[in-house]
Amino acid sequence: MKCILIICDGMGDRPCKQYPKTPLETANTPAFDQLAKKGICGIMDPISPGIRPGSDTAHLAIFGYDPYKYYKGRGAFEALGAGIEVNNGDVTLRANFATINPEDIILDRRAGRKIPEGDEFAKLINNLSLNSATEVKITFIHTVEHRCVLKLEGPNLSHNVSDMDPDVINVKVQPCKPLDNSPEAKRTAEILNEFYAKTKEILSQSPLNEKRQQNGLLPVNGILLRGAGIIPDLQTLDEKYHIRAAAICGAPLYRGVAKVVGMTPIYVPEATGRVDTNTLAKGQAALDHLASNDLIFIHIKGTDNASHDGNYEQKVMMIEKIDAMVQLLLDNLLLEETLIVLTADHADPICVRDHTADPVPIVMVGENCVLSDDVDVFSERACAKGGLGRIHGLDVIPIIMDLMDKTKKFGA
**Distance (Å, rounded) from C-alpha 173 to C-alpha 169?**
9
Residues in contact with a copy of itself, shown as a per-residue x/- string from 53 to 92 under the rule CB under 8 A: xxxxxx--------x---x--x------------------
| Smallest distance from a copy of itself to CB 371, Å | 5
**Rounded Cα–Cα distance for residues 355 and 59 (Å):** 14
3-class DSSP state of 376: coil
Task: Report, in Å, the least distance between residue 55 CB and a copy of itself.
Answer: 7
Question: Rounded to 5 degrees, what are φ and ψ at 190?
Answer: -60, -45
Length of the chain equals 412
- Interaction of residue 402 with a copy of itself, rule CB under 8 A: yes
CB-CB contact of 282 with 298 (8 Å): yes
Angle between helix 312-332 and 30-38 (nearest 10): 60
Sorted by sequence, the CB contacts under 8 Å of residue 325 that are 6+ apart come out as: 6, 279, 280, 282, 283, 298, 300
Task: Say whether residue 186 binds a copy of itself (CB under 8 A).
Answer: no
Stated as kind and residue range, the H or E segment containing 250 is none
Are residues 163 and 189 in contact, defined by beta-carbon separation less than 8 angstroms?
Answer: no
User: Are 179 and 185 a contacting pair, CB within 8 Å?
Assistant: yes
Under rule CB under 8 A, residue 183 binds a copy of itself = no
Q: How many CB atoms lie within 10 A of CB 126?
A: 16
Only segment of 114-122, 184-192, 215-223, 385-393 that touches a copy of itself (CB under 8 A): 385-393
- How many positions of this chain bind a copy of itself (CB under 8 A)? 57
Among residues 21, 37, 52, 289, which is the contact residue for a copy of itself, using CB under 8 A? 52
Question: Is 15 a binder of a copy of itself (CB under 8 A)?
Answer: yes
Closer Cβ to a copy of itself, 219 or 386, answer by number: 386
Handedness of CA 116, 120, 121, 123 (dihedral sign): positive
Residue closer to a copy of itself by CB (options 168, 371) is 371
Handedness of CA 127, 130, 135, 138 (dihedral sign): negative
CB closer to a copy of itself out of 83 and 387 = 387
Q: Which of 296, 298, 299 is nearest to 244 (CA)?
A: 296
- Regarding 397 and contact with a copy of itself (CB under 8 A), the answer is yes
Q: Does 47 bind a copy of itself (CB under 8 A)?
A: yes
Our finding on whether 225 is near a copy of itself (CB under 8 A) is: no
Closer to a copy of itself by CB, 320 or 380: give it. 380
Q: Which is nearer to a copy of itself, 57 or 221 (CB)?
A: 57
Q: From residue 305 to residue 324, what is the string marking binding to a copy of itself with x (rule CB under 8 A)?
A: --------------------
Residues 6+ apart with CB under 8 A from 276: 302
Q: Is residue 168 at the binding interface for a copy of itself, with CB under 8 A as the rule?
A: no
Q: Is 355 in the site for a copy of itself (CB under 8 A)?
A: yes
Torsion 232-233-234-236 (CA) sign: positive
401 is an interface residue for a copy of itself by CB under 8 A: yes
The only residue of 1, 16, 280, 281 in contact with a copy of itself, by rule CB under 8 A: 16
> According to the binding rule CB under 8 A, does residue 242 interact with a copy of itself?
no
Residues binding a copy of itself (CB under 8 A):
14-16, 43, 47-58, 67, 71, 74, 227, 352, 354-359, 368, 370-373, 380-381, 384-385, 387-392, 395-402, 405, 407-412
